[in-house]
Amino acid sequence: MIIIMHDNAKKEEISAVEEKLTKFGFLTHPIYGEKKTVIGAIGDKRQISMNEILLMSGVEKVVPIMRPYKLASKELKQEKSVIDVGYGVTIGGKKLAVFAGPCAVEGREHFLKMSRLVKDAGANILRGGAFKPRTSPYSFGGLEGEGLKIMREAGDELGMPICTEVMDTRDVELVAEYADIIQIGARNMQNFKLLREVGKCNKPIFLKRGLASTIEEWLMAAEYIMSEGNDRVILCERGIRTYETSTRNTFDVSAIPVTQELTHLPIIADPSHATGNYKYVGAVAKAGIAAGADGIMVEVHDCPECAASDGPQSLKPDKFTELMEELRRIAAAIGREI
Ligand code: PEP
Ligand code: MN
């Protein structure tokens, strides 16, 4: 339920409400607005009557949250969340986030080179995989710890946040030590233990939509993370499995406005994994931004034919630079900027 406090409710009144809810086993989540404070309370409603809370001093209204996801829901928080990911970069505000880099970290020299190139083109967040989820056990699985160190070096040199995937609960601590943003890949969107684990760490989480997940399942995955106390979740639409085989996945463009209606969390479009083909990446990136996404994640590689993973969908640096130019114009037309 949501407890809406009166304008200018006193601090003691707010804490009294929180204390009472905690006593009855609720997890409380206060949101301090300019005038009003709203308290999200998640727990077993049978433990306490809404009336009992309503009668407390400073309380204006008590309303139930109807959606199955609570902390992620717009019912609880109407204004969009703007997530600080470090190095002066925020996601969800006027400025768009551009995550770019190779699919996998392949080596130090290569990653540093790619990072400098994408930064010059206008990217503000570096991406790269150190732990790679591969369909085949014989494919390159990533440089793991070594890859994390390389990414950190690039991030430090260029003053940019780095985003990388974690696949196993046992690696969360290590990845959190190096990364500014921790990615949960599509294949792990419903790995509930992993979601809980990253929910306990103090880093923003980049939550990709599962290969065959509904928007509600995706928001429930966000709720798992948030229920552990981490409310810095960034959603990423990366295409879903459909019967269409001409692209790797099908980019669900309407998922962007739909999620924005349901949640306050920011959403990023990933045209690379959505299409699986560099030829379509630009069009889908533009569609994502035009539809209102808070940014894009794009795979960039200087030699797609020699890439260790996802070469066919990687943009060469000059194509990425051109795309950024086009995106700047679209961003300006819709009141955003890059
Ligand atoms: C990736 O970002 O390289 C990746 C593996 O993405 P996804 O989980 O969307 O397939
Ligand atoms: Mn990839």
Domain at 116, CATH number: 3.20.20.70
**Residue 261: burial class (beta carbons within 10 Å; 0-12, 13-18, 19+):** exposed
Residues of the chain with pLDDT under 50: none
Residue 73, in any domain of the structure: no
Residue 220, in any domain of the structure: yes
Residue 77, in any domain of the structure: no
Q: Which atom of ligand 1 is nearest to the CA of 209?
A: 9
103 in the same domain as 34: no
The 59-63 sheet, strands edge to edge: 27-32, 37-42, 2-5, 59-63
Residue 71 DSSP SS3? coil
Q: How many domains does the chain have?
A: 2
pTM: 0.95
Q: For ligand 1, which residues put their CB under 6 angstroms from it? A: 103, 129, 133, 185-187, 208, 238, 273
Residue nearest to atom 10 of ligand 1 (CA): 186
317 in the same domain as 234: yes
151 in the same domain as 56: no
Q: Per DSSP, what are the bridge partners of residue 291?
A: none
254 in the same domain as 132: yes
Residue 76, in any domain of the structure: no
Q: What is the pLDDT of residue 35?
A: 81
* CA dist., res. 73 & res. 69, Å (int): 6
Q: What is the pLDDT of residue 227?
A: 92
290 in the same domain as 238: yes
What does the pLDDT look like over 181-229, one tens digit per residue?
999 999 999 999 999 999 999 999 999 999 999 999 999 999 999 999 9
Please name the residues in contact with 196: beta carbons below 8 A apart, sequence gap of 6 or more.
224, 225, 228
Residue 274, in any domain of the structure: yes
**Residue 55: burial class (beta carbons within 10 Å; 0-12, 13-18, 19+):** exposed
CATH number, position 35: 3.30.70.1140
- Contact by Cβ (8 Å): 50, 43: no
Residue 75, in any domain of the structure: no
Q: What is the pLDDT of residue 49?
A: 86
101 in the same domain as 49: no
Residue 187, in any domain of the structure: yes
Residue 99, in any domain of the structure: yes
52 in the same domain as 94: no
Residue nearest to atom 9 of ligand 1 (CA): 186
228 in the same domain as 127: yes
268 in the same domain as 304: yes
Domain containing 145 equals 83-333
Q: Which atom of ligand 1 is nearest to the CA of 133?
A: 5
- Contact by Cβ (8 Å): 80, 266: yes
Q: Which atom of ligand 1 is nearest to the CA of 129?
A: 3
Cα 43 to averaged position of ligand 2 atoms, centre (Å): 38
Q: What is the pLDDT of residue 47?
A: 82
Those residues whose beta carbon sits under 5 angstroms from the ion ligand 2 are: 103, 310
Tell me the H-state helices in 228-268.
Answer: 255-262
* CA dist., res. 219 & res. 42, Å (int): 16
Of 29, 63, 97, the position where a domain reaches its end is: 63
Quote the radius of gyration of the chain (alpha carbons, Å).
Answer: 21
150 in the same domain as 7: no
41 in the same domain as 128: no
57 in the same domain as 6: yes
